[in-house]
Amino acid sequence: MPKEPSGHMIISLFFALFLGLTSASAKTNDEPQISQETLVKFFQYYEDRDYAKAISLLPLQVRDLSPYEKGKENLPPYKRDEGIYFDIIQKTSGEKPLPKQDPSDKEIQYYLGVMHYWMNNLDMAKQKFLLCLQLDPTYRMAHVYLFRIFSKLESELLSKIDNRSEDIGALLIEKLGFGTSDSHLDMASELLKKEENQSLPVLRVSCLFDKSVLKDLRANASTAPDPENRGTLNDEMKPGQYRLESITQDRHCLDEAYFLPEQKLFWDGIDKNGKMTGGSEVTTTFSVSQDLVMPQKAKKVIIYNPSGKKVAELPIDQQR
């Protein structure tokens, strides 16, 4: 029997193919699949974190769409996912055309993925993000969420392995499929790279956070010293955080950032006997400053509270 390729070989091949490719343009239908009124309600329910209502608005063929060919859903993960990843690669290179689609199609699949992610339906979230990438392989935030999904799945799998002398790469492929957290992290970073000496614009969002009230909310164009990891490692999601989401006119999500509703302040000094003293206190009133990468022009920034509901919206009119 032929030997199965090692995890390292597969991942290296995937990097080599993906990173050397250029993007292709999508063709769209003349008529949208879903009415504008339905889309408005869909995103309204998403912003209110009424995910069940948002999903129920969509036609069955949209909300139940699967990236897997009929008859392949129950194959082992590697065999099931391999074709999808090579389909994405071929579309990225232009070797295979992107499917005809309405501009909202990829956005709907992306936000379905986000909703399933927040509901902890990781397998369904993964499917939706893969569908988004089949429509637009350069959708960076879909790669970011797949990075998070694979990070969780890989950590769970590795925590159950007693004998670390096994071929970890091969085991991960066998159990989790063709994708990896590293591959999607690298792809998300690669999509932000600019030519040498070109800086990537970002939106610097700032406000005074005063006991859950957002005051003096502003957004200004700026530059980030190291934008490649934005929305991936530096601002990993944790329970209880506020979330900032920057989006374009057509609802394409550009980036996310996070902050906790309290900060711990440390202080030190000298007492009357000349001894060093120190302490700390928790404050719920402090200044917030977050950078959101802007590979495309952003239309607005939406801020969600720790329960996932929208609490503020900041239109972006003037950008350099």
pLDDT level of residue 198 (50, 70, 90 thresholds): low
Give yes or no for residue 28 having a pLDDT over 80. no
State the CATH number of the domain containing residue 236.
2.60.40
Phi, psi angle pair for 261, to nearest 5°: -80, 10
| Residues 160-175, mean pLDDT to the nearest whole number | 73
Give residue for tokens 């990891």: 229
Structure tokens belonging to residue 164 = 């670390």
Highest mean pLDDT among 25-39, 182-196, 241-255: 241-255
| Residues 229-256, mean pLDDT to the nearest whole number | 80
Give yes or no for residue 66 having a pLDDT over 60. yes
Residues 131 and 50 in one domain: yes
Give residue for tokens 């992306």: 110
pLDDT of res. 288 = 94
| Residues 139-157, mean pLDDT to the nearest whole number | 92
pLDDT of res. 310 = 96
Which one of 135, 163, 190 terminates a domain?
Answer: 190
Which one of 165, 190, 215 terminates a domain?
Answer: 190
pLDDT of res. 14 = 52
State the CATH number of the domain containing residue 98.
1.25.40
- Share of residues in the chain with pLDDT > 90 (%): 44
Range of the domain at 254: 201-315
pLDDT in tens, 123-144: 999 999 999 999 999 999 999 9
Flag whether 228 is in a domain.
yes
Flag whether 195 is in a domain.
no
How many domains does one find in the chain? Answer: 2
Its pTM stands at: 0.84
Give yes or no for residue 32 having a pLDDT over 60. no
> DSSP 3-state assignment of 33?
coil
> DSSP 3-state assignment of 108?
helix
Residues 130 and 106 in one domain: yes
pLDDT in tens, 276-287: 787 888 999 999
CB neighbour class for 72 (10 Å; exposed up to 12, middle 13-18, buried from 19)? middle
Residues 267 and 174 in one domain: no
pLDDT of res. 54 = 97
Which of these ranges, 53-62, 220-229, 291-300, 311-320, has the smallest mean pLDDT?
Answer: 220-229
pLDDT of res. 164 = 61
- In a 13 Å sphere around the CA of 141, the CA atoms on its Cβ side amount to 26
Tell me which residue of 247, 259, 255 sits closest to 301, measured CA to CA: 247
Residues 172 and 213 in one domain: no
Give yes or no for residue 26 having a pLDDT over 50. no
Residues 105 and 144 in one domain: yes
Flag whether 2 is in a domain.
no
Cα 133 from Cα 131, distance rounded (Å) = 5
Residues 175 and 311 in one domain: no
Give yes or no for residue 257 having a pLDDT over 60. yes
Residues 22 and 166 in one domain: yes
| Residues 1-19, mean pLDDT to the nearest whole number | 46
Flag whether 283 is in a domain.
yes
CB–CB of 231/255 below 8 Å? yes
CB–CB of 83/10 below 8 Å? no
